[in-house]
Structure 1
């Protein structure tokens, strides 16, 4: 017994005419009759009697009809509810982003997404790469914009986006604050505030690498975890910091940002990440939007 057989029987019982019932179900009368016979064989009893002139319910058919209606109604209700649930989920995309992407890239991307897909709700989670990738793997995120790790989980696909420019954050009262551009040699003697490596390996390693390549030792005086904390420490004249350009958008009185001259390789990478081998139409549209507008997003970030 299956739901299609039940639907055939209920429609035939409603119409008491195989031709009309078959028309309602958009099938041939012979196919309708075959499905009802299969149902009767499965139940071991006749449900309908049929002559050349009439169709009638048997006693067993009448008893079975109410139960069949209830069962089919419950099945239809279940299917409708689940389809609505899937549609609601499809209209929501869960995006994770590191602070750099949330401040620089995401505003432009979400503006375009709202313009072209106003029906889509974006649930945004801002965190560090080391916390976003496990959420992606567990299914709690559909997409993440992160710093790609050196040793990435093979279950994750990455799409490189762009490299962010580094700048030097200094107190406005600092003697170097008026410069239009700085080199590592210019800040060789300056006390440095650097991110904690465990949570921000790319930013930490970039600072240390730049000094190492210049043949200089980094004078690290303070480790801090959050960008806002680093900027506040700079404002308090604890030291200077090498930060992504987007940090200039953070509200911090008494801080200025000077471009840092570095080679093309010494920049902070940004990439989109998702679970390899999965299909998600909404996520794929967002990825296509990212790819198609990448140059504009890079300039706006």
Structure 2
């Protein structure tokens, strides 16, 4: 048995659904199913009962789920301890960030933190929320700037920082580009460029939920994963897009950005941005960074020893 197989099996045993488990691990259901089958072949017994309607654990699978959970917890704890010992006295800080944080929130904060704590080495990893969460659990990141988890993530502390607002990206020659602000209803029915749900579930669902709040469905004409690609497709006249407000900093010829007025009381969980970390793990550099984030200003310099 290897840890990857145990992690895959446990995800299915907890979700009782291959699709949801695959999304949680950011992998394809077929690849997930292959890992589970390899584990069953190695152990010589079925671990899951599969039908067209449901997935259930066998008695052997239920026993292995308990053992796998304990093994993975102990492995993650051991990795955290080893990495903590390996850190130099000055310390290091490994930060994972989705694009909204990496482009909008972090640059100024990192500059202030580096100025106040020059002895702390900061490593920035740009990734999606679904990729950052397992890296936090595995001790490969100390902090993660992510979208709010759709369900509470065991062992993960999360603090909501801000609620982003959508902006419309329009071709410069579009009739609506002459307006200073737009209403969401004015975008209904226009050809829309949207991230695919398989790889960008928060971005996709955030836009769909906006229209669903009006009882409408977006008219999607093109999918694209990266924000820069989406804006370039807008410039080409393929459609319009709804993006987080930081995207308005992008300067692409032929594209304008306009704020979008939303109906009062509209819930926008997918447009939230927060910071997460593994509970119970010690990291002095993270404590300093969170203090700086809480203060909204440069963190206090460390006092000299003695």
TM-score normalised according to structure 2 size: 0.66
Q: Which moved more, 1:96-105 or 1:146-155?
A: 146-155
The aligned runs of 1:1-301 (5 Å cut-off) are: 86=86, 88=88, 90-262=90-262, 263=264, 265-266=267-268, 268-293=271-296
Higher-Rg member (1/2): 1
CA contact (8 A) 2:91 2:284 kept: no
Shift of 1:91: 2.2
Shift of 1:169: 0.5
State the distance in 2 between where 1:172 and 1:224 align.
20
Shift of 1:88: 2.1
CA contact (8 A) 2:196 2:225 kept: yes
Shift of 1:171: 0.7
Name the count of aligned residue pairs: 212
State the distance in 2 between where 1:274 and 1:89 align.
21
Shift of 1:158: 0.4
Cα deviations by residue, 1:248-277 (Å, 9 ceiling, x for unpaired)? 122322111000012463361001010011
Shift of 1:164: 0.9
State the distance in 1 between where 2:268 and 2:155 align.
27
Change in 2 beyond 3 A, CA 1:157/1:85: closer
Cα deviations by residue, 1:28-65 (Å, 9 ceiling, x for unpaired)? xxxxxxxxxxxxxxxxxxxxxxxxxxxxxxxxxxxxxx
State the distance in 1 between where 2:117 and 2:153 align.
31
Shift of 1:196: 1.4
State the distance in 2 between where 1:100 and 1:206 align.
14
State the distance in 1 between where 2:89 and 2:246 align.
32
State the distance in 2 between where 1:87 and 1:205 align.
39
State the distance in 2 between where 1:201 and 1:188 align.
21
Cα deviations by residue, 1:115-173 (Å, 9 ceiling, x for unpaired)? 21111111000011111111111111111101122123211110111011110001111
Shift of 1:200: 2.1
Which residues of structure 2 form unaligned runs of 5+?
1-81, 298-306
Shift of 1:85: 6.8
- 3-state SS in 2 of match to 1:104: helix
State the distance in 1 between where 2:90 and 2:137 align.
19
State the distance in 2 between where 1:289 and 1:273 align.
15
State the distance in 2 between where 1:131 and 1:152 align.
16
State the distance in 2 between where 1:224 and 1:153 align.
28
State the distance in 1 between where 2:149 and 2:180 align.
32
- Residue of structure 2 equivalent to 1:53: none
State the distance in 2 between where 1:190 and 1:276 align.
44
Cα deviations by residue, 1:203-239 (Å, 9 ceiling, x for unpaired)? 2112111111112221111111111111111111110
- 3-state SS in 1 of match to 2:274: strand
